[in-house]
Structures are given as structure tokens and as C-alpha cells.
Amino acid sequence: MGRYDLSEEAAATDSELGSMIQKLGGLSDDDISQLLPKRADRDELNRLIQAVNQATSENQKKAILAERLATVSTIVKNVALKLI
């Protein structure tokens, strides 16, 4: 099997997820309330933000964000993706 250089793809993914992490972490409670008027949706997004913020390394943050975006509700995912 040959070796493949995926460094460019890895850097692009790191950049994309890193940007999203920064944007999610910078939202205030008022910002979240305006974007998500339903309390259940706000709570879901807050859990996502807390999980990302509790990670100890950037790689952990990226992994948590990628994993959780696959399981959050459509409305929360749409808001999170608009922040990118």
C-alpha cells in the first residue's frame, strides 16, 4: 500500500473546525436566546459549547464538535453551521 500525503486536507479540516470552536465559545447567553428562542434548543447548544470548552486540547475540541454535530437537532446544527 502506498503512502498518501493528506496534510493539506488535515490542515483545512483543522482550520474549519477551529474557526467554529472559536465562534461557538464566544456567544453570550443573549446571543444564544436570539438565535434559538426555544429553551430546549438553547440547552442543547449550551451542552455542545460546554463539552467543547471542557476539552483540554484543540484536537479533543475538534473531535467533540465533529461528534456532537452529528447528533444535535437540526435547528441547533443549522445555527452552529451559520456561525462558521
Each residue's pLDDT, cut to its tens digit, for the chain (84 residues) gives: 457 776 777 666 656 555 555 565 566 777 777 888 888 888 887 788 788 788 888 888 888 888 888 888 888 887 776 665
Res 83: pLDDT: 65
Identify the pLDDT of residue 23: 60
Contact predicate 55/64, CB 8 Å: yes
- What was the pLDDT predicted at 21? 56
Domain boundaries, the chain: 7-82
| Predicted local distance difference test score (pLDDT) of residue 20 | 56
Question: Would you state the pLDDT for residue 76?
Answer: 83
